[in-house]
Amino acid sequence: MIEVHDLHRHFGGFRAVDGASLQIRTGSITGLIGPNGAGKSTLFNVIAGVLPPTSGRVVMDGEDITGLPPHELFHKGLLRTFQMAHEFSSMSVRENLMMVPPGQSGESLWNTWFGRKRIANEERALRARADEVLDFLTISHVAEEKAGNLSGGQKKLLELGRCMMVEAKIVFLDEVGAGVNRTLLGTIADAIIRLNKERGYTFCVIEHDMDFIGKLCDPVIVMAEGKVLAEGPAAHIMENEAVIEAYLGRGLKNKAMVGA
């Protein structure tokens, strides 16, 4: 469980996150939606240690993790993916996955000289794990492909795969569906649901595609102007007056109603 208490993140005088409080239940796929500039990515960045908060607290399973750097959060099983995928483009897809787990013996020179057998064993295990991940994500056919040649949607799947190479507990996905075709979006949605149901991953998902949010997420948290505006099941949220106003603006909404 992640608890966010009265979180602020200001940029100069601008309050990108302005007193947001919310909970992400263990075992949930929680959606985070809101109009452009609502503060969603900034909130993610603060939770994931990419940005320090101006004030407020983030608690994970009872432990205060406010302001911990990303690598420490990574060891606790908290991972964040970015709107733009961060693959190593000239390496193969499989190699990208094999790079993820920290503390591999091959990383130290001493081990390179004296621990050849151990390194070979580790590599074999990593390779097997990477192949299992590719199989789970239904992209085994691109294992040897350079990651830079993947389509946008395949890169998003690779990001999910990187989360599977470590014992992730909670994964923050930023606009996982942006620029992805419908078929691959379905594959990504299925992978998220299976990771959640079969492997116990908790997800928090920022996404603008409401079909995707509706299919995947419960609850959905709505942010506007740096604050939490509403929370509930997707169907209720989409009928919530305050949410509709936040998206359309009062003037636009009235015009739409006059036009109806």
Ligand X SMILES: Nc1ncnc2c1ncn2[C@@H]1O[C@H](COP(=O)(O)OP(=O)(O)OP(=O)(O)O)[C@@H](O)[C@H]1O
What residues make contact with ligand X under the rule CB under 6 A?
11, 14, 16, 34, 36-42
Q: State the minimum distance, in angstroms, from the CB of residue 238 to ligand X.
A: 17
Q: State the minimum distance, in angstroms, from the CB of residue 11 to ligand X.
A: 3
By beta-carbon proximity to ligand X, the closer residue of 5 and 227 is 227
Amino acid at 46: V
By beta-carbon proximity to ligand X, the closer residue of 27 and 52 is 52
Q: State the minimum distance, in angstroms, from the CB of residue 228 to ligand X.
A: 12
Angle at 38 between CA 256 and CA 187, to 5 degrees: 85
Q: State the minimum distance, in angstroms, from the CB of residue 121 to ligand X.
A: 43
Q: Are 38 and 223 in contact (CB under 8 A)?
A: yes
By beta-carbon proximity to ligand X, the closer residue of 190 and 225 is 225
Sign of the CA dihedral with 137 first, then 76, 121, and 96 last: positive
Structure-token pair, residue 232? 């509930």
28 contact partners, CB below 8 Å, separation of at least 6: 202, 203, 218, 219
By beta-carbon proximity to ligand X, the closer residue of 146 and 208 is 208
CA–CA gap between residue 250 and residue 245 (Å, rounded): 5
